[in-house]
Structure 1
Amino acid sequence: MEIGDWRFGEYRQSTPGWWQRLTVADGLLLLIGIAAAILRLTNLSSLPLSPTEAEAALGVWQLWQPGVTAVSIHSPAYFTLTALLTQILGDGDAIMRLVPALFGVGIVFLPWLLRKRLGQIGMLVTSLLLAVSPLGTAAARTASGDSMALFALLLLFAAWLRYEDSTGAVGTETGDTRWLYVAMSALALGLTSSHLFYGGLITLLLAWRWNLSFEPSLFGLYDETWPRWEVWRKTAVFGLIVFLALASMFLWNLPGLGGAAALLGDWLRAFTLRGSAVQDWLNPFLTLARYETVLATAGLLAVFWALWQNKAMATFSLLWMALLLPLLLLQRYDAGNVLLLTLPGYLLLGVLAETAVSDLHDWLSWLFTVGLLLMFALIFVNVARFARVVLYDVQNLDNVWLALFAFAFTAVTVYFLWTWDERAAYQGIVIATLAFFVFYQWGNAWWLGHLAANDVRERWVTTPATDDDVPMLIATIHQISNQATGDDFGVEIFSSVDTPVLRWYLRQFPNLHIGQAIPTSAQAGIIITPDAANPILGSDYFGTDFGLLRSGVQPESVTNLTPMIDTLRWWLFRESRAQIAEERVVLWVRADLIRS
């Protein structure tokens, strides 16, 4: 039957646009992403590059300099993407950290791909925990490939699950192969980013194989979801192309292939049996407790809950965490492995939050949650006050007693409410604990990422670190050069100190000479020597010293009289009796330049 040009039965309902499919959860995820961007992208150049960062950045800069045949490549993917970016945005400190920071923001959005497995609440909580992760923030603000490796690992995991979810749902035998292409791209990115990816990949594969023996399993059966050989071949070729592009800059820089192969060697060298002291074995777990506090506290609650419940994502996350623990011990001097533990840990907390919040509608649950938050705040404030006044009034324990009373009152209240309404007590404990530690970790992430990335008193910071005096040193050199020659880079410089930091920050001076010793007839406008040196110079020079590197903590400044109080004061107020050991240099300026 026809009426004009219309045919009954041929009408199809139009597919809604992407803006029509947006939900409140998507809007909240965007806000979380903005918070992550604030943590990771603001003031990227606030702290000077560390020696390791400076070496990586110097390799990127040297690639575009004429006459340079060999460059240092620590992370081929970082090298390729940053080298391309510098041709557009320049080569400052912030640009050298921009690529890892962007991947650090991107990882916050990846749980959106797992929303069907995690649930809307679980997806948001996982993203929020990734956003305020102190270690994730610090890694994202570091010129290295660690942040990219974490992104690649989570993307690989999410893409495979999305492929399995699409199996049999799109009218094909193997499912939506686009997710396999995404997975292969993630694999290529991980293999060219950081040695951490190997530890995450191997434990992920072992957890996948182990999880198949559980019921219900997070993954589908081999016969039902495994792609055909033709599909594997096409996606493998695509992954190889991406690998070559990232490793060698589209075959422009072939030594990058060797850098990608060296990542496996770096991972294998991290295994060690040296260091039998208890402190060495506890170091990874102390790092976890110091920075990822929510994982060390609420994570334990989630572990016991996962053992009791029988949920696929929770079981898999628990297995992945169990496999990462031996890796932390066998590579205990590689603190980066703690980063890997955050992925399954926050996925597990996301599942826990989904079960706790999904049916939150009882007024008693909300009332108990608010009450717990107030008690947590009361305990926290009194512990902080005690740590503040104990050095001046040792006998004053009022705040300790008040904190203990609040803790006992909270424990008794939880016990009675649990016997009365188990569901309300469970929801209140989970929500209040997560909310409190998310607030705490935001401050911790800002501190570690923006202010303390070069403070060697922090457990995460590797030595040597670059001293805060370096920007002042470089600014002084620029000022003297401008006054003497009319050009910020015109002065002649001779340095007997050879470090990646000085090479990076003095890279634009064409008259820079670096050697092991200073000639007795040296007439350079500026001479840089170690502070312990007593050079014999051919002209009159004026000198002043600057801090260059932070090599550690002075042993004599460390006291063990009140270790718990000292730790609390450092965690809460960033106050420490430990003195930083510095490597200083002397900046010698020829007298006639100063007079001019």
Structure 2
Amino acid sequence: MANKKQITFENFSYLIIFGLALLVRLLMLGKAPLGEFEATWAYQAWELAQGQTSHVGLQASYLTLTEGLFSLFTSSNALARFWPAVIGSFIVCFPFFFRAKLGQKAALVMALGLALDPGLVAVSRLAGGPILALVFSLLAMGFYYLKKPVWAMIFGGLALFAGPALWMGALGLALTFGVSHLAGAFEWSTHIRAWFSTSPSGSAGKRSFPWGFALALGVVTMQGTLFLQHYQGLSAWLDALPAYAAGWVHPSGVHAVRLLAALLVYQPLALIFGLIAAGRAWVTGEKTARFLSIWFVSALALGLLYPGRQVYDLIWALVPLWALAAMELIRGLETVKSFLVTRIHAASIFVLFALTWLSFVTLVTTGVGDDKWWLRWVVMGATLLLIGLATSIVHAGWSWPVAKKGLVVGVCAAFGTYLLAAMVGAAYLRPANPQELWHPGSGGVQMELLQESLGEFGLLTTGRQDNLDFIIIGDSEVLRWGLRQYPNSHFREAMPAQTRPAFVLSPLTEIAQPWTTSYNGQDFVLETSSAWAGNIDFNWMKWLAFRDAPLDQEKVVLWVRHDAFPGVETSDTPPASSEEGVIEE
């Protein structure tokens, strides 16, 4: 009988972790409305599905995949985010590919960290975000390491069509390999000889390689053009490089401090153990950890130095950081077998961290104006000192390995709980909210209310909710996406000079225009964005505890001409011209 492959406990664990990653990314995916950034890409995909345009933007992978969904199903916020969420879940495969280098247990811990990381989960739920570039690149690296060049070429080609974010990661990896070679953590000659010595080199391998290359080229071409419907998608990767280069000239306005704040606030568990592992590697000479530390520093440095930076550029640094943290966690957990004193020590550390956090929240709630606010700082400091004291007592009474394991388990439990809370807040409690650092903005805050108002006026005047004829002054991707089901909506740069349409949507800045005297208006919040001036210069303690931070609101006003209301006689307002595509009265 032929030997059948059996699912091992390790493989089953990866399946469970992948299912968990998929669940947390898909749960309540359509709850938050699309912001300007997301709506830009979602609306392009919808236009492609409707046949209204043949232009394929920079992110051909996202656009063609999402167009396929919109062609089969009704477009929605959830479907606009579907492929980033699903593909983002495959990030847990990366440690599986490199488990021989990382160690089996460390690879499992890394996979779990990548599955639940707040930043990676939040960015995976972002339509048009950089997660496709990251995951496709990691899969290409993994298959290359496993000596599977065809699969490596397929995912490498898909990464090329994932937009400008690819070049941020590619530049970081190029810098990593160069510095690692100089530091002795990676040797090109040794690597190349090892790769070719174990790769298919026989006659069968040589004959199959051209066919494999043709297959990879065909898959990438079909995906990039959505089965040969949009040939413009093939040039998207060429346009992505100039778009990334433009970011070195045109600043985004996102201060570098925000990237550091996101790293400290959302990834304390990975940061603590990752930095310990990096320091240990440079003392002991461990090449794998040295390479990972160089990768982390390179990706972080590029994100901080890049003028067109966004907080989500940090995802390239999170992968090596979690690899380092996982290696250090396993090293700390395997010192000795667990017994009663280790568990008591770990539980006491968890309780002390919880008390410290509760004291901090109480301080934020009561405010520094309280007469005894300074006493709470003393209590928090004393609580943290107790952690060191408890560890010293266990060290003196038993041994350092026993004390170390209890300390590692306690810190891991405390910051692991914090990580889950941060992930839930970023993904579910405050999805697509600029008060969470990972999101560029929140859009369509009152879009449903605006749609209801337009639907009521549509029923009143035409008998159908989606048949209302109105104009929209200005250009907003949020409105284009939110009102895409209104075929009689027309975008204009300004109010037509000789017409007064019955229904108008305009920015709040138009409220002082003379034509508004003939209308009644109601404002709606269209989008919220961060009001932080450059860096984090507000009450950071309140933000850390409750994510409470100042926001700017962009509003739109729905104007209804006076005589469009029931029971109001028609005024002498000049009628709207049919050439303008608005209601004629």
- Same fold judged by TM-score > 0.5? yes
Worse-matched range after superposition: 410-419 or 467-476? 410-419
Give the residue type in structure 1 aligned to 2:344: L
Per the alignment, do residues 122 and 536 of structure 1 end up closer, same or farther by CA in structure 2, a change over 3 Å counting?
A: same
Match of 1:166 in 2: none
Please say if residues 522 and 537 of structure 1, whose CA atoms lie closer than 8 Å, have aligned partners that are also in contact: no
Question: Which string of whole-angstrom CA distances, capped at 9 and with x for unpartnered residues, describes residues 262-315 of structure 1?
Answer: 21122222335979x9x9454432332233233333322222233334444323
Match of 1:46 in 2: 31
Question: Which string of whole-angstrom CA distances, capped at 9 and with x for unpartnered residues, describes residues 195-222 of structure 1?
Answer: 2222323433453465567788699642
Q: Distance in 2 between matches of 1:298 and 1:97?
A: 32
1:253 deviates by 0.7
1:510 deviates by 1.9
Match of 2:560 in 1: 589
Question: Which string of whole-angstrom CA distances, capped at 9 and with x for unpartnered residues, describes residues 89-109 of structure 1?
Answer: 221111111000101222134
Match of 2:463 in 1: 486
Match of 2:64 in 1: 80
Q: Distance in 2 between matches of 1:85 and 1:305?
A: 48
1:151 deviates by 0.9
Q: Distance in 2 between matches of 1:125 and 1:17?
A: 24
Match of 1:22 in 2: 8
Per the alignment, do residues 475 and 43 of structure 1 end up closer, same or farther by CA in structure 2, a change over 3 Å counting?
A: farther
Secondary structure of the equivalent of 1:595? coil
Give the residue type in structure 1 aligned to 2:104: Q
1:528 deviates by 1.0
Secondary structure of the equivalent of 1:532? helix
1:146 deviates by 0.9
Per the alignment, do residues 367 and 26 of structure 1 end up closer, same or farther by CA in structure 2, a change over 3 Å counting?
A: farther
Task: Give the TM-score of the pair, scaled to structure 1.
Answer: 0.84
Please say if residues 318 and 348 of structure 1, whose CA atoms lie closer than 8 Å, have aligned partners that are also in contact: yes
1:136 deviates by 0.9
Question: Which string of whole-angstrom CA distances, capped at 9 and with x for unpartnered residues, describes residues 495-527 of structure 1?
Answer: 113211111122221211221222355454421
1:409 deviates by 1.5
Per the alignment, do residues 390 and 199 of structure 1 end up closer, same or farther by CA in structure 2, a change over 3 Å counting?
A: same
Please say if residues 40 and 140 of structure 1, whose CA atoms lie closer than 8 Å, have aligned partners that are also in contact: yes
Please say if residues 251 and 309 of structure 2, whose CA atoms lie closer than 8 Å, have aligned partners that are also in contact: no
Q: Distance in 2 between matches of 1:530 and 1:15?
A: 68
Worse-matched range after superposition: 48-57 or 541-550? 541-550
Give the residue type in structure 2 aligned to 1:567: W
State how 1:225-240 maps to structure 2 within 5 Å.
Answer: 225-226=195-196, 227=199, 230=206, 235-240=212-217
Gaps (5+ residues) in structure 1? 1-11, 164-178
Match of 1:567 in 2: 540
Gaps (5+ residues) in structure 2? 568-585
1:485 deviates by 2.2
Q: Distance in 2 between matches of 1:152 and 1:264?
A: 17
Worse-matched range after superposition: 53-62 or 399-408? 399-408
Give the residue type in structure 1 aligned to 2:277: A
Which of 357, 363, 379 does residue 386 from structure 1 map onto?
A: 363
Match of 1:307 in 2: 282
1:546 deviates by 1.0
Match of 2:153 in 1: 184
Q: Distance in 2 between matches of 1:538 and 1:439?
A: 53
Match of 1:111 in 2: 95
Please say if residues 251 and 308 of structure 2, whose CA atoms lie closer than 8 Å, have aligned partners that are also in contact: no
Per the alignment, do residues 412 and 551 of structure 1 end up closer, same or farther by CA in structure 2, a change over 3 Å counting?
A: closer
Per the alignment, do residues 109 and 65 of structure 1 end up closer, same or farther by CA in structure 2, a change over 3 Å counting?
A: same
Give the residue type in structure 1 aligned to 2:195: T
Q: Distance in 1 between matches of 2:355 and 2:83?
A: 41
Q: Distance in 2 between matches of 1:313 and 1:550?
A: 43
Match of 1:348 in 2: 324
Which of 201, 204, 207 does residue 173 from structure 2 map onto?
A: 204
Per the alignment, do residues 555 and 284 of structure 1 end up closer, same or farther by CA in structure 2, a change over 3 Å counting?
A: closer
State how 1:401-440 maps to structure 2 within 5 Å.
Answer: 401-418=378-395, 421-440=399-418
Identity in percent: 22
Which of 469, 474, 484 does residue 446 from structure 2 map onto?
A: 469
1:537 deviates by 5.2
Please say if residues 435 and 548 of structure 2, whose CA atoms lie closer than 8 Å, have aligned partners that are also in contact: no
Per the alignment, do residues 50 and 105 of structure 1 end up closer, same or farther by CA in structure 2, a change over 3 Å counting?
A: same
Per the alignment, do residues 559 and 462 of structure 1 end up closer, same or farther by CA in structure 2, a change over 3 Å counting?
A: closer
Question: Which string of whole-angstrom CA distances, capped at 9 and with x for unpartnered residues, describes residues 44-102 of structure 1?
Answer: 22121111221211111111334x34535131100111111222222111111100010
Secondary structure of the equivalent of 2:146? helix
Secondary structure of the equivalent of 1:224? helix
Question: Which string of whole-angstrom CA distances, capped at 9 and with x for unpartnered residues, describes residues 166-219 of structure 1?
Answer: xxxxxxxxxxxxx22221122112111132222323433453465567788699
Instruction: Please provide the CA RMSD for this pair.
Output: 3.2
Please say if residues 145 and 194 of structure 1, whose CA atoms lie closer than 8 Å, have aligned partners that are also in contact: no
Q: Distance in 2 between matches of 1:559 and 1:198?
A: 28
Secondary structure of the equivalent of 1:543? strand
1:594 deviates by 4.1
Secondary structure of the equivalent of 2:455? helix
